[in-house]
């Protein structure tokens, strides 16, 4: 069996790097892409800012406290999209098997590539060089025989990293990985694993499939395979959209249910416009609420008929809101999404971007 050759390319501090590239006065300085205001959120941070603990999705007020010299720069999504397309054009010179994960990262399957290059690491080096020379930006790359290891490798030596995980080195590499580095293991899952005395890939590999599925459900199979260097997922060029949604960060924290219903109406109106624009029809509505302390909950309900119009969605959204204790927990953000698409839908999409949200 021929081993696949997978590359994961991840742009380093993508939005912030573009701003520093286009404005020489910002180079070498801590910058944050986003709005500097009480309700603002950091969309991206330069590596100079990250040294102070500034991170994406952080409240702007918190970022300012961590880094008093932080420079806020308004986002320019149209520019970022254009640069992303230029990067993708470079990828396409080597392979057509490209799976974008977001606007600034993608998987490439170069097992059979257009250049006839034998080593995937040479392709990764060439792509990194071209991104630097042609676009004046920096990318990190990971190379391995599956998506999981390629992703881990690209994160291993950031920024400007290049790491190859060979098959004969993979198990030892995985055994020494902290579980936080595993794909799909967030803070909550990592905490649960630590409570089960699972701290490294070696600890994870010692767990039975039955144990992992008992504690982590379907994801248990994934963790079981990853701990053994197994990941058969292909690089997918086209995906069926599984959900569509929108969310609003409120101008001020709200506890009034009446005020929240008004905001819910605005979110629903925007969602209906997006559903129409993308010709998306789903049967499950999910309400997302983020409280003043940044904790969040979701509430979902499925219907027999597709959720398409304001009349379909708003009453159901109000019903979901009734399940939320807003009077004692001020709400900072409210969002809605429709998922569980109908099987006969013909639309497909390419996952190219993660847009800014209000």
Q: Given a cut of 80, is residue 67 above it in pLDDT? A: yes
pLDDT grade for 344, boundaries at 50, 70 and 90: very low
pLDDT grade for 351, boundaries at 50, 70 and 90: very low
Q: Given a cut of 50, is residue 13 above it in pLDDT? A: yes
Question: In the predicted model, what is the mean pLDDT of residues 251-267?
Answer: 91
| Residue 343 confidence (pLDDT) | 53
| Residue 293 confidence (pLDDT) | 86
- Show which residues are catalytic: 105
| Residue 355 confidence (pLDDT) | 40
Q: Given a cut of 50, is residue 54 above it in pLDDT? A: yes
Supply 188's token pair.
């909550």
User: How far apart are alpha carbons 88 and 85 in whole angstroms?
Assistant: 5
| Cis amide bond preceding 357, omega within 30 | no
| Residue 346 confidence (pLDDT) | 41
Output b/e per residue, 210-229; b: 16+ Cβ within 10 A.
Answer: eebeebbeeebebbbbbbeb
Question: In the predicted model, what is the mean pLDDT of residues 39-58?
Answer: 92
DSSP of 338-355: EEEE-TT----B------
pLDDT grade for 349, boundaries at 50, 70 and 90: very low
Greater confidence, 312 or 327? 312
Hey, which CATH number is domain 243-341, 3.30.1490.100, 3.40.50.40, 3.40.50.300, 3.40.50.720?
A: 3.30.1490.100
| Residue 116 confidence (pLDDT) | 93
The domain limits of the chain are: 1-164, 170-226, 243-341
Q: Given a cut of 70, is residue 111 above it in pLDDT? A: yes
pLDDT grade for 239, boundaries at 50, 70 and 90: low
Percent over 90 (pLDDT), the chain: 75
Model confidence pLDDT, tens digit, residues 171-225: 999 999 999 999 889 888 999 999 999 999 999 999 999 999 999 999 999 999 9
Percent over 70 (pLDDT), the chain: 94
For the chain, how many residues are written?
358
Average pLDDT of the chain is: 91
DSSP state of 325: -
Task: Tell me which CATH code domain 170-226 carries.
Answer: 1.10.150.20
User: How far apart are alpha carbons 296 and 305 in whole angstroms?
Assistant: 28
User: How far apart are alpha carbons 181 and 349 in whole angstroms?
Assistant: 29
pLDDT grade for 279, boundaries at 50, 70 and 90: confident
Task: Tell me which CATH code domain 1-164 carries.
Answer: 3.30.70.270
List Cβ neighbours of 258 (8 Å cut-off, separation of 6 or more): none
Question: In the predicted model, what is the mean pLDDT of residues 245-255?
Answer: 89
20: nearest Cα among 65, 71, 95, 90: 71
| Residue 36 confidence (pLDDT) | 87
Report yes or no: 71 and 31 within 8 Å, Cβ to Cβ. Answer: yes
Report yes or no: 125 and 139 within 8 Å, Cβ to Cβ. Answer: no
User: How far apart are alpha carbons 123 and 127 in whole angstroms?
Assistant: 6
Which residue has tokens 């606007």? 103
| Residue 132 confidence (pLDDT) | 97
Q: Given a cut of 90, is residue 133 above it in pLDDT? A: yes
């Amino acid at each position: 069996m021929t081993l696949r050759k997978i590359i994961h390319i991840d742009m380093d501090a993508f939005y912030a790097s573009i701003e520093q590239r286009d404005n020489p006065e910002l180079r070498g300085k801590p910058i944050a892409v986003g709005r500097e205001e009480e309700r603002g959120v950091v969309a991206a941070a330069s590596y100079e800012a990250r040294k102070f603990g500034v991170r994406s999705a952080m409240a702007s007020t918190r970022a300012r406290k961590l880094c008093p010299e932080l420079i806020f720069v308004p986002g320019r999504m149209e520019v970022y999209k254009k640069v992303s397309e230029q990067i993708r054009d470079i990828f396409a010179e080597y392979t057509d098997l490209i799976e974008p994960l977001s606007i600034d990262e993608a998987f490439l399957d170069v097992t059979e590539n257009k250049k006839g290059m034998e080593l995937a690491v040479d392709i990764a080096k060439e792509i990194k060089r071209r991104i630097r020379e042609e676009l004046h930006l920096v990318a990190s790359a990971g190379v391995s025989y599956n998506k999981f290891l390629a992703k881990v490798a690209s994160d291993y030596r950031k920024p400007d990293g290049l790491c190859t995980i060979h098959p004969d080195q993979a198990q030892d590499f995985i055994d020494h990985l902290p579980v936080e580095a595993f794909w799909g293991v967030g803070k909550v899952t990592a905490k649960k694993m630590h409570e089960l005395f699972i701290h490294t890939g070696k600890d994870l590999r010692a767990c039975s499939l039955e144990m992992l599925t008992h504690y982590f459900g379907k994801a248990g199979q994934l963790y079981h395979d990853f701990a053994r260097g197994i990941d058969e997922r292909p690089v997918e060029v086209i995906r069926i959209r599984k959900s569509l949604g929108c969310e609003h960060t409120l101008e001020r924290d709200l506890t009034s249910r009446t005020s929240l219903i008004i905001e819910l109406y605005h979110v629903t109106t925007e969602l209906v416009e997006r559903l129409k624009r993308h010709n998306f029809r789903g049967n499950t509505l999910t309400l997302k609420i983020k409280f003043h302390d940044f904790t969040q909950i979701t509430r979902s309900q499925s219907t027999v008929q597709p959720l398409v119009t304001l009349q379909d969605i708003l009453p159901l959204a109000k019903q979901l809101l009734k399940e939320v204790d807003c009077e004692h927990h001020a709400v900072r953000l409210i969002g809605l999404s429709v998922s569980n698409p109908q099987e006969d839908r013909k639309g497909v999409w390419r996952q190219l971007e993660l847009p800014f949200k209000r």
